[in-house]
């Protein structure tokens, strides 16, 4: 079986994913695939550099993610262009890895961490969708602390995504990650037990 794991930026998806992995799940991580598809030497990185300029490359030819992030989170049209280039390959990578995981061990829970699951309308790929929820104020607080960015930069990133309250409404399973890690672990264990895993 599989679940799609989503939420807002810095709501705790990676935290929840690592707990699920500790409980025996196998993880497919869309953010990781998103990094792999633009590694130096890929045709896709060349296309990104053609669209955004050579200045978004580091001297060693790798993608300067910070610089590209500053461009695309301040400009909706630029972000859509980047998504148009990257999303088809990210989706393909996700499908391949989900298939590999299911073929290797059909009984195992496959957790697919997809930050933009609802924004991209990918619900159909999953048996159930789990949303890691924290209120917007906590999302901002944790994002600023983790990435060392200003409130204005954090607001820009949040505004590029569907509102977390809406995601919570759409979810099949909600993990509330506002409280302590212990509280979150308890909710995950409840889910695991309910599935008989």
Ligand X SMILES: Nc1ncnc2c1ncn2[C@@H]1O[C@H](COP(=O)(O)OP(=O)(O)OP(=O)(O)O)[C@@H](O)[C@H]1O
Q: Which residues bind ligand X (CB under 6 A)?
A: 7, 9-15, 31, 115, 142, 146, 177, 180-181, 184
Q: Which residues contact 62 (CB under 8 A, 6 or more apart)?
A: 39, 40
- By CB under 6 A, is residue 34 in contact with ligand COD? yes
Q: Measured from the CB of residue 183, what is the shortest distance to ligand X in angstroms?
A: 7
Q: Measured from the CB of residue 11, what is the shortest distance to ligand X in angstroms?
A: 5
- By CB under 6 A, is residue 31 in contact with ligand COD? yes
Does the annotation place 10 within a ligand binding site?
A: yes
The token pair that represents 44 in the structure block: 């896709």
Q: What is the dihedral of CA 167, 168, 170, 172, to 10 degrees?
A: 130
Q: Measured from the CB of residue 80, what is the shortest distance to ligand COD in angstroms?
A: 8
Does the annotation place 138 within a ligand binding site?
A: no
Q: How far apart are CA 168 and CA 123, in angstroms?
A: 14
- By CB under 6 A, is residue 146 in contact with ligand COD? no
Written as one string, the DSSP assignment of 130-144 is EEEE--HHHHHHHHH
Applying CB under 6 A, the site for ligand COD has a residue count of 18
Q: Which of 50, 41, 48, 102 is nearest to 79 (CA)?
A: 48
The token pair that represents 106 in the structure block: 């059909």
Three-class secondary structure of residue 8 per DSSP = coil
- Interface residue with ligand COD among 1, 49, 149, 160 (CB under 6 A) is 160
- Interface residue with ligand COD among 3, 25, 57, 90 (CB under 6 A) is 90
Q: How far apart are CA 1 and CA 187, in angstroms?
A: 19
**Residues in binding site for ATP:** 10-15
* List of residues contacting ligand COD (CB under 6 A): 9, 30-31, 34, 65, 68-69, 72, 79, 82-83, 86, 90, 115-116, 157, 160-161
């Amino acid at each position: 079986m599989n679940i799609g794991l989503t939420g807002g930026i810095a709501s705790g998806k990676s935290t929840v994913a690592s707990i699920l992995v500790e409980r025996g799940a196998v993880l497919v991580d869309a953010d990781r695939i998103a990094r792999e598809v633009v590694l130096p030497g890929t045709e896709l990185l060349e296309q990104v550099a053609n669209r955004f300029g050579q200045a978004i490359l580091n001297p060693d030819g790798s993608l300067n993610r910070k610089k590209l992030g500053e461009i695309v989170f301040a400009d909706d049209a630029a972000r859509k262009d980047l998504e148009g280039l990257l999303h088809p390959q990210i989706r393909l990578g996700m499908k391949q890895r989900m298939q590999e995981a299911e073929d290797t061990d059909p009984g195992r829970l496959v957790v697919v961490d997809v930050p933009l699951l609802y924004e991209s309308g990918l619900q159909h790929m999953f048996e159930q969708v789990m949303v890691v929820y924290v209120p917007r104020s906590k999302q901002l607080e944790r994002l600023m602390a983790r990435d060392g960015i200003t409130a204005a930069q954090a607001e820009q990133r949040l505004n590029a995504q569907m509102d977390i309250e809406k995601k919570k409404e759409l979810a099949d399973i909600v993990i509330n990650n506002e409280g302590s890690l212990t509280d979150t672990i308890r909710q995950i264990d409840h889910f695991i037990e309910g599935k008989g895993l």
